[in-house]
């Protein structure tokens, strides 16, 4: 039985450019420079812009799509998503009202919720030390 091949940075960039039409040119340019972290930062910036406009349906769609890539991504993809994309949730939370964050959080894929909670517990533990 052949195992499924994991998504690498190049393939992820193609998927992200197709799914994030608003920033597809930026994604392609960053991909040409092998800058996957920059691609994810562009997605985070897009989500922040959508947040300012109150477009929560679009935000959840983008987060879920990154979740789809995360589930299928190689170790590097998963590492960058955890350490750049999921870390951005705290900034998003601060920009939301408590009700908005609660609604948005329930739409975040479970693996991201686990990573987010783990990251915040580590930060809290470091503060207590």
Write the burial class of residue 113 (CB in 10 Å: 0-12 exposed, 13-18 middle, 19+ buried): middle
What is residue 120's predicted lDDT score, i.e. its pLDDT? 83
What is residue 121's predicted lDDT score, i.e. its pLDDT? 79
Helix (DSSP H) and strand (DSSP E) numbers for the chain = 8, 0
Our CA angle for 4, 14, 1, nearest 5°, is 10
Are 40 and 20 in contact by the 8 Å Cβ rule? The answer is: no
3/119 Cα distance (integer angstroms): 30
84/40 Cα distance (integer angstroms): 7
Q: How many CA atoms lie within 13 A of 1 on its CB side?
A: 2
User: Mean pLDDT per segment of 10 residues, for the chain of length 129 residues?
Assistant: 80 97 97 98 97 95 96 97 94 94 95 92 60
């Amino acid at each position: 039985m052949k195992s499924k091949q994991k998504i690498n940075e190049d393939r992820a960039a193609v998927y992200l450019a197709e799914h994030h039409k608003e920033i597809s040119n930026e994604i392609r340019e960053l991909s040409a420079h092998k800058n996957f972290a920059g691609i994810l930062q562009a997605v985070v910036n897009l989500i922040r812009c959508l947040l300012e406009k109150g477009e929560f349906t679009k935000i959840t769609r983008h987060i879920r799509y990154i979740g789809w890539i995360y589930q299928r991504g190689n170790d590097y993809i998963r590492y960058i998503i955890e350490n750049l994309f999921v870390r951005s949730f705290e900034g998003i939370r601060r920009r939301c009202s408590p009700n908005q964050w609660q609604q948005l959080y329930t739409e975040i894929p479970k693996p991201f919720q686990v990573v987010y909670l783990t990251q915040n517990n580590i930060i809290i533990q470091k503060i207590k030390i």
